[in-house]
Chain A
Amino acid sequence: MSNRLPRDLWTEILVSLPVKSLLRFQCVCKSWKSLIYTSTFISMHTQHSESADNYTHLLHCSSYSKKPYQLLQTDGSFNEFQELEYPCQMRGGDHRFVHDCKGLILFTTVIQDGLDGNRFERLTLWNPAIRMSMTLPRPRIDVPVPKYCIHGFGFDQTSNDYKVLRMVCDMYTSFPPQVELYRLRTGAWETITGVDDCFQYYLSAKTQAFVNGASHWVNVVWPMASCSPKRAVLLFDMCDEKLRVMKLPDHLSLGLGKTLDLGVSGGLLSLMENTKPHDVYLSCNIWLMKEYGVVESWTKQFTIDLEGWSCGWIFSFRNNEKILAWNRKNEKESVLYDPKTHRLIKVGGIKGKGYLFGKNTFVESLVLLDKEHTRCDSKKGKKRRERHACA
Protein backbone atom coordinates (compact mmCIF):
# COMPACT_ATOMS: atom_id res chain seq x y z
CA MET A 1 0.00 0.00 0.00
CA SER A 2 1.48 3.27 -1.09
CA ASN A 3 1.60 6.32 1.16
CA ARG A 4 -0.42 9.23 -0.12
CA LEU A 5 0.72 12.78 0.56
CA PRO A 6 -2.11 15.11 1.51
CA ARG A 7 -3.29 17.83 -0.86
CA ASP A 8 -2.17 20.64 1.43
CA LEU A 9 1.46 19.64 0.90
CA TRP A 10 1.24 19.82 -2.90
CA THR A 11 1.90 23.56 -3.02
CA GLU A 12 4.96 23.36 -0.81
CA ILE A 13 6.45 20.65 -2.99
CA LEU A 14 5.54 22.19 -6.34
CA VAL A 15 6.59 25.73 -5.55
CA SER A 16 10.28 24.85 -5.66
CA LEU A 17 10.14 23.07 -9.02
CA PRO A 18 11.59 24.52 -12.21
CA VAL A 19 9.15 25.95 -14.74
CA LYS A 20 9.77 23.16 -17.25
CA SER A 21 8.74 20.51 -14.70
CA LEU A 22 5.58 22.38 -13.79
CA LEU A 23 4.53 22.76 -17.39
CA ARG A 24 4.89 19.02 -17.77
CA PHE A 25 3.14 18.20 -14.48
CA GLN A 26 0.03 20.11 -15.46
CA CYS A 27 -0.76 16.79 -17.19
CA VAL A 28 -0.71 14.79 -13.96
CA CYS A 29 -4.35 15.46 -13.15
CA LYS A 30 -6.93 18.25 -13.28
CA SER A 31 -6.34 19.37 -9.69
CA TRP A 32 -2.65 19.86 -10.35
CA LYS A 33 -3.33 21.80 -13.52
CA SER A 34 -5.72 24.16 -11.81
CA LEU A 35 -3.32 24.60 -8.87
CA ILE A 36 -0.43 25.51 -11.16
CA TYR A 37 -2.60 27.99 -13.06
CA THR A 38 -3.78 29.97 -10.04
CA SER A 39 -2.31 33.45 -9.72
CA THR A 40 -1.47 32.81 -6.06
CA PHE A 41 0.64 29.83 -6.96
CA ILE A 42 2.27 31.68 -9.84
CA SER A 43 3.33 34.56 -7.63
CA MET A 44 4.51 32.22 -4.84
CA HIS A 45 6.59 30.39 -7.38
CA THR A 46 8.13 33.60 -8.73
CA GLN A 47 8.93 34.71 -5.21
CA HIS A 48 10.57 31.37 -4.51
CA SER A 49 12.58 31.65 -7.73
CA GLU A 50 13.86 35.04 -6.64
CA SER A 51 14.93 33.99 -3.19
CA ALA A 52 16.53 30.80 -4.42
CA ASP A 53 19.56 32.57 -5.86
CA ASN A 54 19.31 30.96 -9.27
CA TYR A 55 18.78 34.01 -11.38
CA THR A 56 20.43 35.15 -14.55
CA HIS A 57 21.13 38.37 -16.36
CA LEU A 58 19.67 39.41 -19.65
CA LEU A 59 21.50 41.48 -22.17
CA HIS A 60 19.97 43.01 -25.21
CA CYS A 61 22.61 44.05 -27.64
CA SER A 62 22.20 45.98 -30.78
CA SER A 63 24.81 46.75 -33.32
CA TYR A 64 24.51 48.02 -36.80
CA SER A 65 25.72 44.92 -38.56
CA LYS A 66 23.83 42.10 -40.18
CA LYS A 67 21.83 40.83 -37.26
CA PRO A 68 20.62 43.84 -35.46
CA TYR A 69 19.64 42.47 -32.13
CA GLN A 70 20.74 39.80 -29.77
CA LEU A 71 19.14 38.69 -26.59
CA LEU A 72 21.63 36.96 -24.39
CA GLN A 73 21.35 35.30 -21.05
CA THR A 74 24.12 34.65 -18.60
CA ASP A 75 24.39 33.43 -15.05
CA GLY A 76 26.07 35.28 -12.23
CA SER A 77 29.51 33.99 -13.13
CA PHE A 78 29.33 35.58 -16.60
CA ASN A 79 31.11 32.57 -17.99
CA GLU A 80 28.68 31.66 -20.68
CA PHE A 81 26.29 33.65 -22.78
CA GLN A 82 23.32 31.85 -24.23
CA GLU A 83 21.45 33.43 -27.05
CA LEU A 84 17.70 33.40 -26.67
CA GLU A 85 15.53 32.89 -29.66
CA TYR A 86 12.90 35.60 -29.92
CA PRO A 87 9.26 34.55 -29.78
CA CYS A 88 7.72 33.91 -33.19
CA GLN A 89 6.05 37.24 -33.81
CA MET A 90 9.09 39.21 -32.77
CA ARG A 91 11.54 37.74 -35.23
CA GLY A 92 12.81 40.19 -37.76
CA GLY A 93 11.07 43.10 -36.18
CA ASP A 94 12.45 46.43 -35.13
CA HIS A 95 12.42 46.01 -31.41
CA ARG A 96 15.32 48.09 -30.43
CA PHE A 97 14.28 48.61 -26.89
CA VAL A 98 13.67 45.85 -24.46
CA HIS A 99 12.93 45.93 -20.79
CA ASP A 100 12.81 43.12 -18.31
CA CYS A 101 11.36 42.67 -14.87
CA LYS A 102 10.94 39.60 -12.73
CA GLY A 103 10.84 36.98 -15.41
CA LEU A 104 9.00 38.98 -18.05
CA ILE A 105 10.43 40.79 -21.04
CA LEU A 106 8.74 43.75 -22.69
CA PHE A 107 9.33 44.41 -26.36
CA THR A 108 8.44 47.73 -27.91
CA THR A 109 8.08 47.69 -31.67
CA VAL A 110 7.40 50.94 -33.42
CA ILE A 111 4.48 50.89 -35.79
CA GLN A 112 3.85 53.57 -38.32
CA ASP A 113 0.19 54.09 -38.81
CA GLY A 114 -1.40 56.00 -41.58
CA LEU A 115 -0.26 58.83 -43.75
CA ASP A 116 -0.06 61.53 -41.12
CA GLY A 117 3.11 60.10 -39.60
CA ASN A 118 1.27 58.90 -36.56
CA ARG A 119 3.07 56.27 -34.58
CA PHE A 120 2.52 54.02 -31.64
CA GLU A 121 4.24 50.89 -30.45
CA ARG A 122 3.17 47.32 -30.40
CA LEU A 123 4.04 46.19 -26.92
CA THR A 124 4.58 42.52 -26.30
CA LEU A 125 5.22 40.77 -23.02
CA TRP A 126 7.26 37.61 -23.27
CA ASN A 127 8.06 34.96 -20.73
CA PRO A 128 10.95 32.96 -22.19
CA ALA A 129 10.78 30.34 -19.42
CA ILE A 130 7.34 29.18 -20.54
CA ARG A 131 7.83 30.33 -24.14
CA MET A 132 4.63 32.31 -24.18
CA SER A 133 3.98 35.87 -25.19
CA MET A 134 1.10 38.30 -25.02
CA THR A 135 0.48 41.48 -26.99
CA LEU A 136 -0.87 44.40 -25.03
CA PRO A 137 -3.94 46.26 -26.25
CA ARG A 138 -3.14 49.24 -28.43
CA PRO A 139 -2.05 52.22 -26.33
CA ARG A 140 -4.31 55.25 -26.32
CA ILE A 141 -1.78 58.03 -26.70
CA ASP A 142 -0.24 58.27 -30.14
CA VAL A 143 3.25 59.48 -30.80
CA PRO A 144 3.20 61.81 -33.79
CA VAL A 145 6.50 63.33 -34.77
CA PRO A 146 8.09 65.32 -33.04
CA LYS A 147 6.95 63.44 -29.99
CA TYR A 148 8.74 60.42 -28.61
CA CYS A 149 7.79 57.75 -26.11
CA ILE A 150 9.70 56.54 -23.10
CA HIS A 151 8.71 53.30 -21.40
CA GLY A 152 8.79 52.02 -17.89
CA PHE A 153 8.24 48.43 -16.88
CA GLY A 154 8.01 47.27 -13.32
CA PHE A 155 6.33 45.30 -10.62
CA ASP A 156 4.06 46.58 -7.87
CA GLN A 157 4.60 44.55 -4.70
CA THR A 158 1.47 45.76 -2.99
CA SER A 159 -0.93 44.65 -5.71
CA ASN A 160 1.33 41.83 -6.99
CA ASP A 161 1.04 43.22 -10.49
CA TYR A 162 3.22 44.01 -13.49
CA LYS A 163 2.77 47.48 -14.96
CA VAL A 164 3.88 49.16 -18.17
CA LEU A 165 4.27 52.91 -18.38
CA ARG A 166 4.25 55.12 -21.45
CA MET A 167 5.40 58.71 -21.29
CA VAL A 168 4.89 60.60 -24.50
CA CYS A 169 7.19 63.60 -24.49
CA ASP A 170 7.81 66.44 -26.86
CA MET A 171 11.23 66.66 -28.42
CA TYR A 172 11.37 70.44 -28.73
CA THR A 173 9.72 71.59 -25.55
CA SER A 174 10.05 70.42 -22.01
CA PHE A 175 6.33 70.29 -21.35
CA PRO A 176 4.95 67.59 -19.05
CA PRO A 177 4.49 64.30 -20.86
CA GLN A 178 1.22 62.55 -21.52
CA VAL A 179 1.27 59.47 -19.38
CA GLU A 180 -0.63 56.21 -19.42
CA LEU A 181 -0.26 52.99 -17.48
CA TYR A 182 -1.07 49.40 -18.30
CA ARG A 183 -1.77 46.94 -15.52
CA LEU A 184 -1.52 43.24 -16.25
CA ARG A 185 -4.27 42.43 -13.78
CA THR A 186 -6.86 44.63 -15.46
CA GLY A 187 -5.46 44.16 -18.96
CA ALA A 188 -6.17 47.82 -19.76
CA TRP A 189 -4.49 51.20 -20.20
CA GLU A 190 -5.34 54.07 -17.90
CA THR A 191 -4.35 57.70 -18.34
CA ILE A 192 -2.30 59.12 -15.50
CA THR A 193 -3.08 62.70 -14.62
CA GLY A 194 -1.64 65.19 -12.19
CA VAL A 195 1.82 65.34 -13.73
CA ASP A 196 3.70 68.25 -12.16
CA ASP A 197 3.92 71.06 -14.69
CA CYS A 198 6.49 73.10 -12.77
CA PHE A 199 9.22 70.76 -13.86
CA GLN A 200 11.00 70.66 -17.18
CA TYR A 201 11.04 67.26 -18.75
CA TYR A 202 13.57 65.93 -21.15
CA LEU A 203 14.37 62.28 -21.13
CA SER A 204 17.08 61.19 -23.47
CA ALA A 205 17.52 57.84 -21.78
CA LYS A 206 15.74 55.04 -23.52
CA THR A 207 16.14 52.64 -20.67
CA GLN A 208 15.04 52.66 -17.09
CA ALA A 209 16.56 51.49 -13.86
CA PHE A 210 13.90 49.65 -11.89
CA VAL A 211 14.63 49.53 -8.18
CA ASN A 212 12.69 50.08 -4.97
CA GLY A 213 9.43 49.60 -6.81
CA ALA A 214 10.01 52.50 -9.18
CA SER A 215 11.33 53.11 -12.67
CA HIS A 216 14.04 55.74 -12.90
CA TRP A 217 15.38 57.76 -15.80
CA VAL A 218 17.86 60.59 -16.20
CA ASN A 219 16.29 63.91 -17.04
CA VAL A 220 18.49 66.56 -18.68
CA VAL A 221 17.34 70.09 -19.37
CA TRP A 222 19.07 73.28 -20.39
CA PRO A 223 17.62 76.09 -18.32
CA MET A 224 17.30 79.38 -20.10
CA ALA A 225 20.29 81.65 -19.94
CA SER A 226 22.45 78.94 -18.51
CA CYS A 227 25.62 77.44 -19.91
CA SER A 228 25.23 74.21 -18.02
CA PRO A 229 22.59 71.55 -18.29
CA LYS A 230 20.73 70.53 -15.18
CA ARG A 231 20.29 66.83 -14.55
CA ALA A 232 17.93 65.07 -12.24
CA VAL A 233 16.34 61.68 -11.80
CA LEU A 234 12.74 61.26 -12.86
CA LEU A 235 10.96 58.34 -11.30
CA PHE A 236 7.59 56.63 -11.54
CA ASP A 237 6.51 54.74 -8.45
CA MET A 238 4.67 51.62 -9.62
CA CYS A 239 2.89 51.38 -6.30
CA ASP A 240 1.28 54.80 -5.87
CA GLU A 241 1.51 55.46 -9.63
CA LYS A 242 3.01 58.91 -9.31
CA LEU A 243 5.74 60.64 -11.24
CA ARG A 244 8.38 62.29 -9.06
CA VAL A 245 11.70 64.05 -9.31
CA MET A 246 14.76 63.11 -7.32
CA LYS A 247 17.48 65.76 -7.27
CA LEU A 248 21.10 64.96 -7.94
CA PRO A 249 24.01 66.53 -6.10
CA ASP A 250 25.50 69.52 -7.91
CA HIS A 251 28.64 67.76 -9.00
CA LEU A 252 26.53 65.27 -10.94
CA SER A 253 23.70 67.55 -11.90
CA LEU A 254 25.73 70.40 -13.34
CA GLY A 255 28.66 70.67 -15.66
CA LEU A 256 29.35 70.06 -19.27
CA GLY A 257 30.98 67.14 -20.93
CA LYS A 258 29.36 64.26 -19.16
CA THR A 259 26.61 61.77 -19.69
CA LEU A 260 24.80 59.95 -16.96
CA ASP A 261 23.14 56.55 -17.15
CA LEU A 262 21.22 54.88 -14.39
CA GLY A 263 21.50 51.28 -13.39
CA VAL A 264 20.89 48.94 -10.51
CA SER A 265 23.67 47.41 -8.50
CA GLY A 266 23.12 45.12 -5.56
CA GLY A 267 19.60 46.46 -5.09
CA LEU A 268 20.77 50.05 -5.05
CA LEU A 269 20.29 52.76 -7.63
CA SER A 270 23.56 53.23 -9.44
CA LEU A 271 24.85 55.78 -11.86
CA MET A 272 27.46 55.62 -14.55
CA GLU A 273 29.07 59.00 -15.16
CA ASN A 274 30.92 59.08 -18.44
CA THR A 275 33.03 62.17 -18.83
CA LYS A 276 33.39 63.03 -22.46
CA PRO A 277 34.62 66.51 -23.09
CA HIS A 278 34.65 67.23 -26.80
CA ASP A 279 32.79 64.02 -27.45
CA VAL A 280 35.66 61.72 -26.55
CA TYR A 281 35.09 59.32 -23.69
CA LEU A 282 37.75 59.79 -21.09
CA SER A 283 36.79 58.12 -17.90
CA CYS A 284 33.85 56.52 -16.24
CA ASN A 285 32.83 56.91 -12.62
CA ILE A 286 30.45 54.54 -10.95
CA TRP A 287 28.25 55.93 -8.20
CA LEU A 288 25.88 54.22 -5.83
CA MET A 289 23.00 55.82 -3.98
CA LYS A 290 23.68 54.22 -0.63
CA GLU A 291 20.52 55.55 0.96
CA TYR A 292 17.61 55.68 -1.40
CA GLY A 293 16.13 59.16 -1.62
CA VAL A 294 18.98 60.85 0.21
CA VAL A 295 20.80 63.12 -2.24
CA GLU A 296 24.00 63.30 -0.21
CA SER A 297 24.30 59.53 -0.14
CA TRP A 298 25.58 59.24 -3.70
CA THR A 299 28.99 57.63 -3.19
CA LYS A 300 31.63 57.05 -5.78
CA GLN A 301 32.57 53.40 -5.98
CA PHE A 302 35.37 53.43 -8.50
CA THR A 303 36.68 55.01 -11.68
CA ILE A 304 37.58 53.32 -14.92
CA ASP A 305 40.02 54.95 -17.24
CA LEU A 306 38.92 54.45 -20.76
CA GLU A 307 41.37 54.33 -23.58
CA GLY A 308 39.42 53.73 -26.72
CA TRP A 309 36.75 51.80 -24.88
CA SER A 310 33.15 52.77 -24.31
CA CYS A 311 31.32 51.53 -21.31
CA GLY A 312 28.00 49.89 -21.33
CA TRP A 313 25.82 49.36 -18.37
CA ILE A 314 26.87 47.79 -15.17
CA PHE A 315 26.03 44.21 -14.51
CA SER A 316 25.25 43.77 -10.93
CA PHE A 317 25.34 40.55 -9.13
CA ARG A 318 25.06 41.21 -5.49
CA ASN A 319 28.57 42.40 -4.79
CA ASN A 320 30.03 41.07 -7.96
CA GLU A 321 29.85 44.06 -10.23
CA LYS A 322 31.19 43.87 -13.71
CA ILE A 323 31.15 46.45 -16.45
CA LEU A 324 30.67 45.60 -20.05
CA ALA A 325 32.77 47.66 -22.37
CA TRP A 326 33.32 47.54 -26.06
CA ASN A 327 36.05 48.67 -28.32
CA ARG A 328 35.03 51.84 -30.11
CA LYS A 329 37.13 51.01 -33.11
CA ASN A 330 36.21 47.38 -33.37
CA GLU A 331 32.61 46.84 -32.46
CA LYS A 332 32.98 43.07 -32.31
CA GLU A 333 35.28 43.20 -29.35
CA SER A 334 33.68 43.29 -25.96
CA VAL A 335 35.19 42.87 -22.56
CA LEU A 336 33.98 42.49 -19.06
CA TYR A 337 35.78 44.69 -16.64
CA ASP A 338 36.00 43.48 -13.07
CA PRO A 339 36.49 46.51 -10.85
CA LYS A 340 37.76 44.43 -7.97
CA THR A 341 40.58 42.75 -9.80
CA HIS A 342 40.92 45.37 -12.55
CA ARG A 343 41.00 42.55 -15.04
CA LEU A 344 39.60 42.80 -18.50
CA ILE A 345 38.04 39.57 -19.70
CA LYS A 346 37.38 39.19 -23.37
CA VAL A 347 33.89 38.05 -24.11
CA GLY A 348 32.92 36.48 -27.36
CA GLY A 349 29.50 36.37 -28.84
CA ILE A 350 28.37 39.85 -27.97
CA LYS A 351 28.16 41.83 -31.14
CA GLY A 352 29.19 45.25 -30.16
CA LYS A 353 27.62 48.09 -28.43
CA GLY A 354 24.31 49.71 -28.48
CA TYR A 355 21.68 49.33 -25.90
CA LEU A 356 22.54 46.84 -23.31
CA PHE A 357 19.86 46.03 -20.82
CA GLY A 358 20.84 43.86 -17.98
CA LYS A 359 20.27 45.91 -14.99
CA ASN A 360 17.99 43.61 -13.14
CA THR A 361 18.35 39.98 -12.39
CA PHE A 362 16.14 37.69 -14.35
CA VAL A 363 14.26 34.81 -12.78
CA GLU A 364 12.27 31.93 -14.14
CA SER A 365 8.59 32.36 -13.61
CA LEU A 366 5.19 31.12 -14.73
CA VAL A 367 3.76 34.59 -15.26
CA LEU A 368 1.41 34.84 -18.26
CA LEU A 369 0.50 31.16 -17.98
CA ASP A 370 -2.94 32.09 -16.69
CA LYS A 371 -3.49 34.79 -19.31
CA GLU A 372 -4.58 34.52 -22.90
CA HIS A 373 -1.37 34.28 -24.75
CA THR A 374 0.32 32.99 -27.83
CA ARG A 375 2.36 29.87 -27.58
CA CYS A 376 5.43 29.83 -29.67
CA ASP A 377 6.42 27.15 -32.05
CA SER A 378 8.36 24.68 -30.02
CA LYS A 379 11.71 25.27 -31.61
CA LYS A 380 14.41 25.07 -29.02
CA GLY A 381 15.95 28.42 -28.21
CA LYS A 382 19.09 28.81 -30.26
CA LYS A 383 22.08 28.33 -28.05
CA ARG A 384 25.45 29.78 -28.44
CA ARG A 385 27.91 29.38 -25.65
CA GLU A 386 30.85 31.63 -25.49
CA ARG A 387 33.69 31.18 -23.12
CA HIS A 388 36.02 33.61 -21.57
CA ALA A 389 39.50 33.95 -22.87
CA CYS A 390 41.64 35.81 -20.41
CA ALA A 391 42.89 39.08 -21.76
Chain B
Amino acid sequence: MANNGENPSPDVGGKTVKLKADDGEIFEVEEAVAMELQTVKSFFDDDGVSYDTVVPLLNVSSTALAKVIQYCRRAVELRAKSGDDEGANEKAREEREGLEAELVREESDEGIKELILAANYLNIKDMLSFLCRAVGDRIKNKSVEYVRRFFVLENDFSPEEEERTRNEVAWAFEGVDAD
Protein backbone atom coordinates (compact mmCIF):
# COMPACT_ATOMS: atom_id res chain seq x y z
CA MET B 1 0.00 0.00 0.00
CA ALA B 2 1.83 3.04 -1.28
CA ASN B 3 1.49 6.27 0.61
CA ASN B 4 3.86 8.53 -1.31
CA GLY B 5 6.54 8.26 1.36
CA GLU B 6 4.67 10.72 3.48
CA ASN B 7 4.81 8.69 6.66
CA PRO B 8 6.97 10.10 9.45
CA SER B 9 10.30 8.39 9.91
CA PRO B 10 10.34 5.85 12.76
CA ASP B 11 12.64 7.90 14.96
CA VAL B 12 10.50 11.07 14.88
CA GLY B 13 8.96 10.22 18.19
CA GLY B 14 5.84 11.91 19.47
CA LYS B 15 2.28 10.86 18.90
CA THR B 16 0.91 10.09 15.52
CA VAL B 17 -2.61 9.87 14.22
CA LYS B 18 -3.98 7.60 11.52
CA LEU B 19 -6.16 9.11 8.77
CA LYS B 20 -8.08 7.00 6.29
CA ALA B 21 -8.90 8.33 2.82
CA ASP B 22 -12.01 7.41 0.80
CA ASP B 23 -10.28 4.47 -0.91
CA GLY B 24 -9.15 2.98 2.42
CA GLU B 25 -5.54 4.16 2.24
CA ILE B 26 -4.15 4.99 5.67
CA PHE B 27 -1.88 7.95 6.34
CA GLU B 28 0.07 8.10 9.58
CA VAL B 29 0.64 11.72 10.50
CA GLU B 30 2.31 13.60 13.37
CA GLU B 31 -0.26 14.84 15.87
CA ALA B 32 0.65 18.51 15.40
CA VAL B 33 0.07 18.22 11.68
CA ALA B 34 -3.17 16.25 12.06
CA MET B 35 -4.56 18.92 14.37
CA GLU B 36 -4.28 21.47 11.55
CA LEU B 37 -7.29 19.67 10.14
CA GLN B 38 -10.04 21.06 12.37
CA THR B 39 -12.32 18.20 11.41
CA VAL B 40 -9.75 15.76 12.81
CA LYS B 41 -9.25 17.92 15.90
CA SER B 42 -13.01 17.91 16.57
CA PHE B 43 -13.05 14.15 16.09
CA PHE B 44 -10.62 13.73 18.99
CA ASP B 45 -12.12 16.49 21.11
CA ASP B 46 -15.06 14.24 21.72
CA ASP B 47 -14.78 12.47 25.06
CA GLY B 48 -13.55 8.99 25.09
CA VAL B 49 -12.02 8.89 21.63
CA SER B 50 -8.62 7.31 21.83
CA TYR B 51 -5.78 8.67 19.71
CA ASP B 52 -5.31 5.20 18.30
CA THR B 53 -8.62 5.40 16.49
CA VAL B 54 -8.31 5.66 12.75
CA VAL B 55 -10.10 8.79 11.53
CA PRO B 56 -12.33 8.00 8.55
CA LEU B 57 -12.24 10.81 5.98
CA LEU B 58 -14.84 9.50 3.61
CA ASN B 59 -15.00 12.58 1.41
CA VAL B 60 -11.32 12.95 0.70
CA SER B 61 -9.40 11.09 -1.98
CA SER B 62 -5.98 9.74 -1.16
CA THR B 63 -4.40 12.02 -3.78
CA ALA B 64 -5.90 15.08 -2.17
CA LEU B 65 -5.17 13.91 1.36
CA ALA B 66 -1.51 13.30 0.52
CA LYS B 67 -1.16 16.86 -0.76
CA VAL B 68 -3.05 18.30 2.20
CA ILE B 69 -0.79 16.48 4.64
CA GLN B 70 2.31 17.60 2.79
CA TYR B 71 1.14 21.21 2.86
CA CYS B 72 0.15 21.15 6.52
CA ARG B 73 3.40 19.53 7.52
CA ARG B 74 5.41 22.31 5.92
CA ALA B 75 3.04 24.98 7.23
CA VAL B 76 3.60 23.73 10.79
CA GLU B 77 7.37 23.79 10.25
CA LEU B 78 7.23 27.36 8.93
CA ARG B 79 5.09 28.52 11.80
CA ALA B 80 7.63 27.14 14.25
CA LYS B 81 10.31 29.21 12.53
CA SER B 82 8.60 32.56 12.89
CA GLY B 83 8.61 34.43 16.17
CA ASP B 84 9.37 37.94 17.35
CA ASP B 85 12.04 38.58 14.78
CA GLU B 86 10.57 40.60 11.93
CA GLY B 87 13.20 39.35 9.51
CA ALA B 88 12.44 35.74 10.31
CA ASN B 89 8.73 36.39 10.02
CA GLU B 90 9.17 37.97 6.63
CA LYS B 91 11.22 35.05 5.43
CA ALA B 92 8.68 32.58 6.77
CA ARG B 93 5.90 34.49 5.03
CA GLU B 94 7.75 34.38 1.72
CA GLU B 95 8.38 30.67 2.08
CA ARG B 96 4.74 30.17 2.92
CA GLU B 97 3.70 32.00 -0.24
CA GLY B 98 6.15 29.91 -2.25
CA LEU B 99 4.66 26.77 -0.77
CA GLU B 100 1.15 27.89 -1.69
CA ALA B 101 2.16 28.78 -5.23
CA GLU B 102 3.88 25.43 -5.63
CA LEU B 103 0.80 23.58 -4.51
CA VAL B 104 -1.46 25.10 -7.14
CA ARG B 105 0.96 25.67 -9.98
CA GLU B 106 0.71 22.30 -11.66
CA GLU B 107 -2.87 21.60 -10.70
CA SER B 108 -5.59 21.24 -13.27
CA ASP B 109 -8.95 22.91 -12.68
CA GLU B 110 -10.39 19.62 -11.43
CA GLY B 111 -7.38 19.09 -9.19
CA ILE B 112 -7.67 22.50 -7.60
CA LYS B 113 -11.37 22.00 -7.01
CA GLU B 114 -10.66 18.66 -5.37
CA LEU B 115 -8.18 20.36 -3.04
CA ILE B 116 -10.68 23.06 -2.14
CA LEU B 117 -13.34 20.47 -1.38
CA ALA B 118 -10.85 18.58 0.77
CA ALA B 119 -9.70 21.71 2.61
CA ASN B 120 -13.33 22.71 3.12
CA TYR B 121 -14.37 19.30 4.45
CA LEU B 122 -11.30 19.01 6.64
CA ASN B 123 -11.81 22.61 7.80
CA ILE B 124 -8.30 23.95 7.23
CA LYS B 125 -8.88 27.68 7.26
CA ASP B 126 -5.58 29.02 5.89
CA MET B 127 -5.36 26.45 3.15
CA LEU B 128 -8.95 27.07 2.08
CA SER B 129 -8.30 30.79 2.09
CA PHE B 130 -5.34 30.71 -0.25
CA LEU B 131 -6.96 28.08 -2.50
CA CYS B 132 -9.97 30.38 -2.95
CA ARG B 133 -7.63 33.23 -3.83
CA ALA B 134 -5.83 30.96 -6.29
CA VAL B 135 -9.11 30.07 -7.98
CA GLY B 136 -9.96 33.77 -8.12
CA ASP B 137 -6.67 34.45 -9.88
CA ARG B 138 -7.28 31.62 -12.25
CA ILE B 139 -10.73 32.74 -13.36
CA LYS B 140 -10.51 36.51 -13.22
CA ASN B 141 -9.71 37.00 -16.90
CA LYS B 142 -11.79 34.13 -18.14
CA SER B 143 -15.01 34.20 -20.09
CA VAL B 144 -18.46 33.70 -18.63
CA GLU B 145 -18.71 30.32 -20.37
CA TYR B 146 -15.44 29.13 -18.84
CA VAL B 147 -16.65 30.11 -15.38
CA ARG B 148 -19.97 28.32 -15.89
CA ARG B 149 -18.10 25.13 -16.77
CA PHE B 150 -15.70 25.52 -13.85
CA PHE B 151 -18.46 26.00 -11.30
CA VAL B 152 -20.89 23.62 -13.07
CA LEU B 153 -23.58 26.26 -13.34
CA GLU B 154 -26.49 26.51 -15.72
CA ASN B 155 -27.24 29.76 -17.47
CA ASP B 156 -30.72 30.60 -16.26
CA PHE B 157 -30.95 33.98 -17.95
CA SER B 158 -33.14 34.43 -20.99
CA PRO B 159 -31.22 35.41 -24.14
CA GLU B 160 -32.71 38.91 -23.92
CA GLU B 161 -31.68 39.36 -20.28
CA GLU B 162 -28.15 38.23 -20.98
CA GLU B 163 -27.86 40.40 -24.05
CA ARG B 164 -29.02 43.45 -22.11
CA THR B 165 -26.45 42.99 -19.36
CA ARG B 166 -23.69 42.35 -21.86
CA ASN B 167 -24.49 45.59 -23.63
CA GLU B 168 -24.67 47.60 -20.43
CA VAL B 169 -21.18 46.62 -19.37
CA ALA B 170 -19.69 45.82 -22.77
CA TRP B 171 -16.31 47.16 -21.70
CA ALA B 172 -16.08 44.46 -19.02
CA PHE B 173 -16.07 41.84 -21.78
CA GLU B 174 -13.02 43.25 -23.48
CA GLY B 175 -9.61 41.70 -23.06
CA VAL B 176 -10.93 38.35 -21.86
CA ASP B 177 -8.75 35.23 -22.27
CA ALA B 178 -9.77 32.98 -25.11
CA ASP B 179 -11.27 29.72 -23.89
Listed in ascending order, the chain A residues whose CB lies under 8 Å from chain B are 2-6, 9-10, 12-14, 16-18, 20-21, 23-33, 130-131, 375, 378, 380
CB neighbours of B170 from chain A (8 A): 378
Cβ contact within 8 Å between A29 and B155: yes
Q: A21-B140, A24-B173, A28-B144 are in contact. Are A9 and B153 (CB under 8 A)?
A: no
Q: A5-B116, A13-B136, A21-B141 are in contact. Are A29 and B148 (CB under 8 A)?
A: yes
CA distance A3 to B60 in the complex (A): 12
B152 an interface residue at 8 Å Cβ cutoff? Answer: yes
CB neighbours of A380 from chain B (8 A): 171
Among B39-47, B81-89, B98-106, B161-169, the stretch in contact with A: B161-169
Contact partner of B171 among A6, A14, A18, A378, CB < 8 A?
A: A378
Size of the B side of the interface (Cβ < 8 Å), in residues, is 36
Interface-centre pick from B113, B132, B148, B176 (highest chain A CB count, 10 A): B132
Cβ contact within 8 Å between B148 and A16: no
Main secondary structure of the interface of B (DSSP, over half): helix
CB neighbours of B173 from chain A (8 A): 24
Cβ contact within 8 Å between B166 and A27: yes
Cβ contact within 8 Å between A28 and B151: yes
Cβ contact within 8 Å between B168 and A20: no
Cβ contact within 8 Å between A12 and B140: no
Q: A9-B116, A131-B171, A380-B171 are in contact. Are A26 and B155 (CB under 8 A)?
A: no
Contact partner of B132 among A2, A4, A12, A29, CB < 8 A?
A: A12
CA distance A295 to B55 in the complex (A): 61
Cβ contact within 8 Å between B140 and A2: no
Cβ contact within 8 Å between B156 and A30: yes
CA distance A21 to B150 in the complex (A): 15
Q: A20-B172, A27-B165 are in contact. Are A2 and B152 (CB under 8 A)?
A: yes
A126 CB, nearest partner CB in chain B, Å: 15
Interface residues of B in 126-145 (CB under 8 A from A): 128-129, 132-133, 135-136, 139-141, 144
CB neighbours of B148 from chain A (8 A): 28-29
- Additional A-B contacts beyond A18-B140, A21-B172, A27-B162 (16; CB < 8 A): A3-B117, A5-B117, A6-B117, A9-B120, A10-B151, A12-B128, A14-B136, A21-B139, A21-B141, A23-B172, A27-B166, A28-B153, A28-B155, A29-B154, A30-B157, A31-B153
